[in-house]
Amino acid sequence: MAAASLGRRSNTRLPPEVNRVLYVRNLPFNISSEEMYDIFGKYGAIRQIRLGNARDTRGTAYVVYEDIYDAKNAVDHLSGFNVANRYLIVLYYQPTKMSKKSDVKKKEDELTMLQEKYGIGSKTPGPNSD
């Protein structure tokens, strides 16, 4: 019975948000991909690292591990890790949360366009107003 509990993956249930893909924020803008592989490679085999290079994505990266347990280990150890006087924010990539932010902005823009098109102010009277 004790031997079965020694295996790190035997009957281990991971939270639903655990993912092989990590989203990293608060990176130094001048960090190289080699430095990223040095930092994140200590926790397991990496399939891919994508550094943000556009104006609005600088300081962010996606790190894809081969194994979900390696990704969990990296999140556990690298959240708050200091790199060039910046503390890393390491999260599991959650596409539903990422897309919701852009959807809200898109809907707000569409609403503004429709209001302008039909000459409607942003404040509409409620059902109880006279």
Segments making up each domain of the chain, as ranges: 17-117
In angstroms, the first-to-last Cα distance of the chain is 74
Could you tell me the pTM of the whole model? 0.67
**pLDDT reported for residue 102:** 62
Tell me the average pLDDT across 13-33. 91
Instruction: Look at residue 58 and tell me whether its pLDDT is greater than 50.
Output: yes
- Predicted confidence at residue 3, as pLDDT, reads 43
CA angle 87, 60, 109 (to 5 degrees): 120
Domain covering 17-117 in this structure, CATH number: 3.30.70.330
pLDDT attached to residue 75 = 96
Distance CA 105, CA 98 (A): 12
Please give the Cα distance from 1 to 10 (Å, whole number). 12
| 49, two tokens | 């690292």
Indicate the range of 51-55, 61-65, 119-123 predicted with least confidence. Answer: 119-123
SS3 71: helix
